[in-house]
Amino acid sequence: MKAAVLNAFGQALAIETRPDPTPGPGSVVVDVAAAGVTGYADRVFDGSRNYRLELPAVPGPGGIGRVRAVGPDATRLQPGDWVFCEPTIRARDEVADTILQGWTYRTDAALPLHLLYRDGSYAEQMMVPTENVTRIGDIDPADAGRWCGLSRLLVPYGGLWAGDLKPGETLLVSGATGGFGGAGVAVALAMGAGRIVATGRNAETLANLAARLGPRVRPVAMTGDEAADRQAIADAAASPIDMVLDFLPREASRTQLHANLMAVRHGGRIMLMGGVRAELGLDYNWLMHREITLRGVWMYPPEAVPRMVAMIRASLIDLGQFDLAEFPLDDANAAVAYAAANAGPRQLTVLRP
Ligand SMILES: NC(=O)c1ccc[n+]([C@@H]2O[C@H](COP(=O)([O-])OP(=O)(O)OC[C@H]3O[C@@H](n4cnc5c(N)ncnc54)[C@H](OP(=O)(O)O)[C@@H]3O)[C@@H](O)[C@H]2O)c1
């Protein structure tokens, strides 16, 4: 099979011929139809993100494809089934040793699992743990790239799931101009949020988001003046903010973070999903007296995948919201460069092996 291989950090992906994978107990092999390329893939591949990824590897965290062959223990999956391949692999003996297939691992103990599944979706075929494959029902093969939007939608869904967003609640999405924050606004609307205060620095992107998603979305452009930003958020919310979903990136300031997080109501929930490097610096007494739930959330539970597929099937979520750019596997390096230069909230760059 053909695959895009990262042989060394800082090198371009090389298109190589690799042996076809064969499924064993606990795994299936999928013909990859489409695989998403994140806007920061270039920084993973040049080594600047310091991701732990043993090389050489076929990168690619998950994707959409058709089952090619199943292992001896598969009970329902059949060759030909259209599936979403979930990149989060949880070690069966220790949940802390979670890895992202074809992307990275974090703990030393997870190395054996990573070595088994370091190869991901930037290839014609990939081997995936059986439980990481979810049937999505029949689709038009031409839509496989668009179905990669699932990965973008599932991440914020994980935070909304963890925070138990309820219909009618008021939500603040911080970092709403980004890929995951913007998707979070769309998912929260589908889940029935009554009002969503969407914050970020880029007023134009926020205005576009609100124009596209409707009047339940209230954009607030951050100015960097914490008091003014807090007032603008309160004005836009008009009612207590039940939950904050934060997707601010590593560069964000504590001022911006606080303006968003501290907007939550007494007894509200804060879900941290971004990558902020600044000290959190939240006041102990503020958290305690206001009975705030503060929770970090990484990715989403496995049960979220079929639920999100059902929301798409029910037209609660429109995959047409993404601007799709598709590249053949041979142009993997062009796809990585394109994704880096076009990392807007609606942009979806995919490889079509
Ligand atoms: N928890 C998880 O499971 C999970 C999964 C995936 C990703 N993440 C993390 O989520 C974060 C967001 O990812 P993403 O792909 O959505 O990011 P993104 O699209 O690259 O950026 C998000 C937004 O950050 C804002 N931003 C950029 N520089 C900033 C600065 N100096 N100060 C304040 N805001 C700044 C930009 O909006 P404005 O210009 O409008 O401010 C941008 O739209 C990342 O840190 C990522 O690592 C977490």
pLDDT tens digits, 98-151: 999 999 999 999 999 999 999 999 999 999 999 999 999 999 999 999 999 999
**Stretch(es) of the chain classified as CATH 3.40.50.720:** 164-296
User: How confident is the model at residue 318, as a pLDDT?
Assistant: 95
Query: DSSP code of 186?
Result: H
Chain centroid to CA 71? 28
Check: CATH 3.30.750.200 for 164-296? no
Residue nearest to atom 42 of ligand 1 (CA): 178
d(CA 100, CA 86): 9
User: How confident is the model at residue 345, as a pLDDT?
Assistant: 80
Question: Ligand 1: distance of its center to the CA of 317 in Å?
Answer: 22
pLDDT tens digits, 236-282: 999 999 999 999 999 999 999 999 999 999 999 999 999 999 999 99
Neighbouring-strand partners of residue 350: 36, 326
Q: Mean pLDDT for the chain?
A: 97
pLDDT tens digits, 152-171: 999 999 999 999 999 999 99
User: How confident is the model at residue 148, as a pLDDT?
Assistant: 97
Class of domain 2-151+320-352: alpha beta
**Stretch(es) of the chain classified as CATH 3.90.180.10:** 2-151+320-352
Q: What would you measure as the largest C-alpha separation in the chain, in angstroms?
A: 61
Q: What is the pTM of this model?
A: 0.95
User: How confident is the model at residue 105, as a pLDDT?
Assistant: 97
- What's the average model confidence in pLDDT over 207-230? 96
pLDDT tens digits, 284-341: 999 999 999 999 999 999 999 999 999 999 999 999 999 999 999 999 999 999 999 9
In angstroms, the Cα distances linking 336 to 34, 208, 256, 323 are 14, 25, 30, 16
Question: Ligand 1: distance of its center to the CA of 106 in Å?
Answer: 21
Question: Ligand 1: distance of its center to the CA of 188 in Å?
Answer: 18
CB 60 within 8 A of CB 120: yes
- What's the average model confidence in pLDDT over 213-221? 97
Which are the contacts of 253, defined by CB distance < 8 A and separation ≥ 6? 224, 278
pLDDT tens digits, 9-37: 999 999 999 999 999 999 999 999 999 99
pLDDT tens digits, 36-72: 999 999 999 999 999 999 999 999 999 999 999 999 9
Which are the contacts of 228, defined by CB distance < 8 A and separation ≥ 6? none
Q: Which of 201, 229, 346 to mutate to test the pocket of ligand 1 (most atoms within 8 A of CB)?
A: 201
Atom of ligand 1 nearest to the CA of 205: 40
User: How confident is the model at residue 140, as a pLDDT?
Assistant: 97
d(CA 271, CA 173): 10
CB 288 within 8 A of CB 262: no
Residue nearest to atom 21 of ligand 1 (CA): 178
Q: Virtual CA dihedral for 116, 120, 124, 130, nearest 10 degrees? A: 60
User: How confident is the model at residue 343, as a pLDDT?
Assistant: 81
d(CA 41, CA 335): 10
Residue 318 sits at φ, ψ, to 5 deg, of: -105, 115
**CB of 274 sitting under 6 A from ligand 1:** yes
- What's the average model confidence in pLDDT over 193-204? 97
Q: Which of 51, 98, 247 to mutate to test the pocket of ligand 1 (most atoms within 8 A of CB)?
A: 247
Give me the count of residues in the chain. 353
Question: Ligand 1: distance of its center to the CA of 22 in Å?
Answer: 37
d(CA 209, CA 213): 6
Question: Ligand 1: distance of its center to the CA of 175 in Å?
Answer: 6
Question: Ligand 1: distance of its center to the CA of 269 in Å?
Answer: 20
